[in-house]
Chains A and B, each alone.
Chain A
């Protein structure tokens, strides 16, 4: 069965610090997708990234970067030079390739960036 673990419940950093959010997953599927979503206080889920299990290249998008390590079943998310607007709950999620199944969410990491 799929499982996503986000061991960090809450993290606080001072503005401009870098922060890494950890995500470890379990699946028996050979092909799957991994996602990161941001949930600001308003509640909506903001899509950040989708990664196919066959694509282990790290990705950078502005201040965001993702490190996918299939060998350790991890898909960590780093925010460089954090800003107050980054304060939110971040969810890592997993689905199988067919997409017929739902997304399995981790428990989320609440990030607070202190000005």
Chain B
């Protein structure tokens, strides 16, 4: 079945540094990738949608300069949290959609900014 690999699973970084999260579809081509953010005990909120080779579409209220999304290939999308601050601490999870598969989620990344 469709598998999406997300790395790292956990990361702790210092305030002001940048963190890159990778989302890779292992056995299918992901024409669209979605990035979600989940605060503790809350639902998943869509941050942005990216299609291979084009700029990401960000949801209202999400800073595109802070959350850089790159979808350079059909199997890889990255989310970079730039100049991270403690309020960026959250659980980030990606979802990939291919031509024939439904939504396949990565295992998530727990980001802690100290």
Which A positions have Cβ atoms within 8 angstroms of B? 33, 35, 37, 42-45, 47, 50, 91, 95, 99-103, 105-108, 110
| Smallest CB separation, A59 vs chain B (Å) | 15
A-B contact pairs, 27 of them (CB 8 A): A33-B102, A35-B102, A37-B105, A42-B107, A43-B91, A43-B93, A43-B107, A43-B110, A44-B106, A44-B108, A45-B105, A47-B102, A47-B104, A50-B102, A91-B43, A91-B44, A99-B32, A99-B97, A102-B46, A102-B95, A103-B44, A103-B95, A106-B43, A107-B42, A107-B43, A108-B42, A108-B43
By the criterion of a CB under 8 Å from any partner CB, how many residues of chain B are at the interface? Answer: 20
Report B-chain residues with C-beta under 8 Å of the C-beta of A110. Answer: 41
Partner of B32, one of A100, A105, A107: A100
- Contact count A vs B, C-beta below 8 Å: 47
Which B positions have Cβ atoms within 8 angstroms of A? 32, 34, 41-44, 46, 49, 91, 93, 95, 97, 102-108, 110
| Smallest CB separation, B38 vs chain A (Å) | 8
* A95, B102: Cα distance in complex, Å: 10
B103 adjacent to A95 (CB under 8 Å) = yes
| Smallest CB separation, B16 vs chain A (Å) | 26
B103 adjacent to A103 (CB under 8 Å) = yes
A105 adjacent to B107 (CB under 8 Å) = no
Partner of B105, one of A44, A107, A108: A44
A35 with B103: in contact, given A44-B108, A100-B32 (CB under 8 Å)? yes
| Smallest CB separation, B77 vs chain A (Å) | 14
